[in-house]
Chains A and B, each alone.
Chain A
Amino acid sequence: MLTVNERKILQALKKLGKSHLSDLERETGLPRSTIMASLEGLKQKLAIKVYEEKRELIKLTKEGELRALQGLPERIIAEKTWENGGQLDLKELKEKTGLSDEEVKIGLGWLRRKGLGKIVRGKVVVEKKPEELTEEKLLRRIYVSKTLSENALSSDEKRFLKELVSRRLVQIYEEKEYLLEITDKGLELLGKEKEYITVITHEVIKRKEWLRKEIKPYNVKAEPPKIYPGRKHFYVEFLDEIREILVAMGFTEAEGPIVEVELWNFDILFQPQDHPAREIHDTFRLKYPAIKPVEIDVAERVKAVHESGGTSGSRGWGYKWSLDIAKRLILRTQTTSVSARFLSQHREPPVKMFTIGKVYRPDTIDAKHLPEFHQLDGIVMDKNLHFRNLLGILKEFFKHLGIDTVKFKPSYFPFTEPSVEGYIYHPRVGWVECFGAGMLRPEVLEMLGVKYPTAAWGIGIDRVAMVILGIDDIRDLYSQDISYLRSRRIFMR
């Protein structure tokens, strides 16, 4: 039985008779590599005969290509002389024609030999208007088709080929070429094959062709061509699951600016202005734009609380607070800035908010660190809310992600008290530290103008995703390799 390509080739051979591969390419529309791949099968089926033929082909040299584009020097000289009134001083020749000394020399030789003009007392004399030369036309023809068979030349052209070869503008070289011919056996196979329908088309159905021909069966075990579905990025898919859990738990989503003033990223979170985390080793600062005005009322409360505790009942940090530092622009180092902004706009209970966003730290890139990553932040504010409620929310959240074991540990953040950090347990990787949380400090609530207990948490959601999605190198989470993205299986919880 013939394959589709074998059949195409045989049909073409039947139509064309003895053919070269290039003829077959044209006729079948198949690339040469595909035809070559089919030849072995056809030979085995004794459907074709293959002859090896040596052909003389001609092609241009580098110089030949240049002359094909610019013309031959003898004609250029003749033309320039004609344009100059039929006479041109030999000394002016180089300048007028733009040819090199060598080219002028060669050009003058051929000018005389071809009778295009003559040299009289140091001057070129041309008596009739020069036309484009046949040899120039030939050069152009070879240029366009890259190679030509000698057989394809007219007898007129053949006369000039010698000249062009001697001038080293054209090269003749030998090439092995296959010549193919269909055999009787091939014709027979082709005839038999006619009984098969390979593709069921509109015509086949309409004309009930299956009544006259058999439908060719497929090799169902063969691999199909590869196709890829359009897909969401697997991490985006994961983050959507996170959103679903939090919305189901009654949280409202919020967002805030990536480029943030220090006031909302640090000061409002009771981070003293000389805190090491605010230095350039830990925070990307902006050179342009460098500052942004801040809310005056908030700044005043922040100043009072930092310097002496304001009316929060705290001692404060006891230093001189600077508005200039608070106005500096940075890339946010935490999404807690979003929570803070949200709280300052929603001061009445109950409030349950979450935000997922990019945060930035000047870390060098390795398997565990990227200078930008995602953080998930959340807050709950309500009358009578307490620390155990915060632990309850965190535990519940992880439960929905399939993580039942969560461990809490005392910790420290400038903006929460009590503060807690947490570890989740996964059989593949063991304990993984992945969140920090706490009740917002009275100092922070005072700066925000909030009067009720508020729980806040921040989760390194990239780390959680890595644990759950089975990824050990954070760079894979942001993989720039499409075959990796295409190969990831979907995430089902």
Chain B
Amino acid sequence: MPVTLIKKRRLLKLLGIEASDKDLLEVLSKTKVEAEFIDPETLEVEVTPDRLDLLVSEGLARELRGLLGLEKGYPKYRVSDTDIELVVYSNVKPVRPFIAVAVIKGYYVDQDSLDEIIQFQEKLHTTLGRDRRKIAIGFYDLDKLNSRKIIYRAEKPDKIRYVPLGETREMSGREIVEKTEKGRKYRHLIDGYGAYPLLHTVKGQVLSIPTILNSEDTKVDVGTKNLFIDVTGTDKYLVNKTLDLIVTTLSEVASEIGKVLVIDVGETYKTPVLTSTELVVETDYLKSIIGLDVGDLEIAELLERMRYHVEPVADGKLYVKAPPYRLDILHKVDVAEDVAIAYGYNELIPELPKTFTVGRELVKTKFLRKIREIMTGLGFQEVLTFTLASKKLITELVNAESSRQVEILNPISPLYNTIRSTLIANMVQFLKQNQHSDHPIKVFEVGDTVEVHNGEAVVKTKLAASILSYKVGFEDIQATLYALAKTLGLTVFLVEEKTPPKIFLRGRTAKININGKLRGIIGELDPQYLLEKLEIEYPVALFEIDISNMWNEIREKK
């Protein structure tokens, strides 16, 4: 989830009240942000991805003022038309088709607000923008533009020339994507069309290559008073909503939002569109979701605190209008959540449902518990090892065919590039690590493994048990297996394994047949393999059996 840093003094100034740190954190915890002080002056704020308007002080203060009852209802914005025009050329459509622009007047930039809007822009890029792929945002100092007529079009990289933000000399479009950090990181978004998107004035002053880098010439700095903003992208709805979110949030401290006339190929319209989500909701619906027993008036009041415009339309029905910065209202259930937030989650009284049901464990769970009881009764300590495992190690130890094991595309390490198809590999590692602890070391593990059969990953539940000691042999582990089988009411017999996996000792290894099915392997480990490959200096005997579905086989028949 996105995180930003916010100066306490700025937030309190916008909030318009004094509050102790404790009270501030308390009220913040009622919103969708997680906040903590990283130093006495700075708050680290983590915002849920549905409420990105809370990433800056303006948005946070607006939310808190509502929750605290300092301000209610739909926020008021002064919107006016400007004399600025944007012309969109058709040649930019294949590269980056959509654009929306706006003006914010009377936004006085100081160091604190500059830090915040830079973070705001970056976080919107990574979240809504999916790392600038879906949308990208540019902020400019309106008063630095040399013309009121702006053009958005595609241009050949070599023909683009300007001083990019943070540089001291003029560069070509090609140089910008090759030599600047942002250029290298984001060029993949615009490469491959023969031309880059370009935003410039009719007088040839470049604002930016949208998605990549703004110009030094038009940059926002301390002292900037009026902002020009562009959002470009691949999804028209999102481009417009993102611009709505930005302008309605920043204009909390500005004097006015300015609309721009866009001449988009054959079409003419104005941006920002500033659309709000309008719904008619039944109060009973809202109350039933939360389990809240309050009057309709109180519901309306709660929604107003969440900055909705609310009007009763008929008995039990409300017309609600969510402000333009609310991108998260997909369904009337989203309005219900706002009622709960305004009421306060910790004010809601938890109540157990009256539903009567009889609970039950899985038969498998009960069976595994019985297995554990028998094995612990036989003196074995249970161990839990990772299910992520090394394909190579498993193949080497137990001759598992590679095609029997799943393979992870993006493992964090080659040691964890599959899900184990056997418990033996992990168990042997465990014994290696613990060989010098008090003997005898008698351990077992019961758990799920995954094998591939006919191209499909199948879960197999397995049990492995082993003994490591100064002196241990086949009989010792065989006695364990037989005792287990007998207690479970199963018939077991062994079949000599003439070609055992390398880890096992020939002549002292057998296949395990349980109730007529081959279900595992039992044997002593090969001394040379133990010492040289596994670096275990003591004899080891072990078995592994597949116990998948055994729980159903041994259940009492009705």
The residues of A with any CB-CB pair to B shorter than 8 Å are: 226, 228-233, 235-236, 240, 243, 246-255, 257-259, 274, 276, 280, 284-290, 292, 309, 312-316, 318-319, 329, 331, 349-350, 352, 358, 360, 362-364, 371-372, 380, 382, 384-389, 391-396, 407-412, 417-420, 439, 441-443, 453, 478, 480-483, 485-486
Contact, CB under 8 Å: B353 / A480: no
Given contacts A384-B288, A420-B345, A442-B333, contact A478 B384 (CB under 8 A): yes
Contact, CB under 8 Å: B382 / A233: yes
Contact, CB under 8 Å: B388 / A360: yes
- Asked if B507 is at the interface of the complex by the 8 Å CB criterion, the answer is no
In the bound complex, residues from chain A placing their C-beta under 8 Å from that of B364 are 255
Task: Give the residue name and chain of the A residue nearest to B47 (CB).
Answer: A412
In the bound complex, residues from chain B placing their C-beta under 8 Å from that of A312 are 331
Contact, CB under 8 Å: B452 / A392: no
Task: Give the residue name and chain of the A residue nearest to B127 (CB).
Answer: A276
| In-complex Cβ contact of A231 among B382, B430, B433 (8 A) | B382
Task: Give the residue name and chain of the B residue nearest to A419 (CB).
Answer: B337
Contact, CB under 8 Å: A364 / B412: yes
| In-complex Cβ contact of A285 among B289, B332, B352, B410 (8 A) | B410
Contact, CB under 8 Å: A246 / B411: no
Would you list 27 pairs from A and B whose C-beta atoms are within 8 A, ordered by A residue? A232-B382, A236-B382, A246-B359, A250-B355, A251-B359, A252-B357, A255-B364, A257-B459, A259-B419, A285-B408, A285-B409, A313-B332, A314-B331, A329-B457, A380-B355, A386-B289, A387-B348, A388-B290, A392-B353, A412-B51, A417-B336, A418-B333, A441-B333, A443-B331, A478-B385, A480-B430, A482-B381
- Asked if B130 is at the interface of the complex by the 8 Å CB criterion, the answer is yes
Q: Mark B230-243, 1 if CB is under 8 A from A, else 0.
A: 00000101000000
Task: Give the residue name and chain of the A residue nearest to B287 (CB).
Answer: A386
In the bound complex, residues from chain B placing their C-beta under 8 Å from that of A391 are 345, 348, 350-351
Binds A, one of B171-179, B317-325, B372-380: B372-380
Given contacts A246-B359, A352-B359, A482-B437, contact A230 B330 (CB under 8 A): no
| In-complex Cβ contact of A483 among B49, B331, B437 (8 A) | B437
| In-complex Cβ contact of B406 among A288, A362, A395, A396 (8 A) | A288
**A445 smallest CB distance to B (angstroms):** 10
**B197 smallest CB distance to A (angstroms):** 21
A284 to B450: give the CA distance in the assembly, Å.
15
A-B contact sample (8 more), CB < 8 A, given A230-B442, A286-B407: A230-B380, A254-B362, A292-B457, A314-B331, A331-B419, A412-B50, A480-B433, A485-B383
Contact, CB under 8 Å: A480 / B291: no
A363 to B412: give the CA distance in the assembly, Å.
7
- Asked if B39 is at the interface of the complex by the 8 Å CB criterion, the answer is no
- Asked if B365 is at the interface of the complex by the 8 Å CB criterion, the answer is yes
Task: Give the residue name and chain of the B residue nearest to A316 (CB).
Answer: B330
Most buried by A among B130, B364, B385: B130
| In-complex Cβ contact of B336 among A360, A372, A418 (8 A) | A418
In the bound complex, residues from chain B placing their C-beta under 8 Å from that of A230 are 375-381, 442
Given contacts A226-B438, A386-B288, contact A233 B383 (CB under 8 A): yes
In the bound complex, residues from chain A placing their C-beta under 8 Å from that of B50 are 412
Binds A, one of B28-36, B76-84, B526-534: B28-36
Task: Give the residue name and chain of the B residue nearest to A230 (CB).
Answer: B376
Contact, CB under 8 Å: A410 / B331: no
A439 to B377: give the CA distance in the assembly, Å.
44
- Asked if B74 is at the interface of the complex by the 8 Å CB criterion, the answer is no
**B371 smallest CB distance to A (angstroms):** 11
**B314 smallest CB distance to A (angstroms):** 18
Given contacts A258-B448, A314-B330, A410-B31, contact A280 B359 (CB under 8 A): no
A392 to B358: give the CA distance in the assembly, Å.
18
| In-complex Cβ contact of A407 among B49, B346, B455 (8 A) | B346
**B98 smallest CB distance to A (angstroms):** 14
- Asked if B163 is at the interface of the complex by the 8 Å CB criterion, the answer is no
Contact, CB under 8 Å: B237 / A318: yes
Most buried by B among A249, A391, A441, A486: A391
Contact, CB under 8 Å: B357 / A251: yes
Contact, CB under 8 Å: A250 / B358: yes
In the bound complex, residues from chain B placing their C-beta under 8 Å from that of A258 are 387, 419, 448, 450, 459
Contact, CB under 8 Å: B410 / A284: yes
Contact, CB under 8 Å: A396 / B352: yes
- Asked if B416 is at the interface of the complex by the 8 Å CB criterion, the answer is yes
| In-complex Cβ contact of A232 among B348, B376, B406, B441 (8 A) | B376
A254 to B380: give the CA distance in the assembly, Å.
28
A34 to B282: give the CA distance in the assembly, Å.
88
Contact, CB under 8 Å: B331 / A309: yes
In the bound complex, residues from chain B placing their C-beta under 8 Å from that of A385 are 353, 355
In the bound complex, residues from chain A placing their C-beta under 8 Å from that of B356 are 250, 350
A231 to B410: give the CA distance in the assembly, Å.
36
| In-complex Cβ contact of A287 among B127, B340, B345, B408 (8 A) | B408
Task: Give the residue name and chain of the A residue nearest to B279 (CB).
Answer: A313
Task: Give the residue name and chain of the B residue nearest to A349 (CB).
Answer: B355
| In-complex Cβ contact of B346 among A233, A249, A309, A408 (8 A) | A408
**A322 smallest CB distance to B (angstroms):** 15
- Asked if B334 is at the interface of the complex by the 8 Å CB criterion, the answer is yes
Contact, CB under 8 Å: B337 / A410: yes
In the bound complex, residues from chain B placing their C-beta under 8 Å from that of A453 are 288-289
Contact, CB under 8 Å: A393 / B352: yes
In the bound complex, residues from chain B placing their C-beta under 8 Å from that of A418 are 289-290, 333, 336-337, 340-341
| In-complex Cβ contact of B376 among A231, A254, A407, A439 (8 A) | A231
Contact, CB under 8 Å: A249 / B351: no
A280 to B334: give the CA distance in the assembly, Å.
30
- Asked if B456 is at the interface of the complex by the 8 Å CB criterion, the answer is yes
Contact, CB under 8 Å: B406 / A289: yes
Contact, CB under 8 Å: B409 / A286: yes
Contact, CB under 8 Å: A228 / B381: yes
| In-complex Cβ contact of B388 among A371, A387, A407, A486 (8 A) | A371
In the bound complex, residues from chain B placing their C-beta under 8 Å from that of A329 are 457
Contact, CB under 8 Å: A288 / B452: yes
Task: Give the residue name and chain of the B residue nearest to A250 (CB).
Answer: B357
**A228 smallest CB distance to B (angstroms):** 7
In the bound complex, residues from chain B placing their C-beta under 8 Å from that of A243 are 361, 365
- Asked if B360 is at the interface of the complex by the 8 Å CB criterion, the answer is yes
**B502 smallest CB distance to A (angstroms):** 23
| In-complex Cβ contact of B361 among A253, A276, A284, A313 (8 A) | A253
Most buried by B among A319, A363, A418: A418
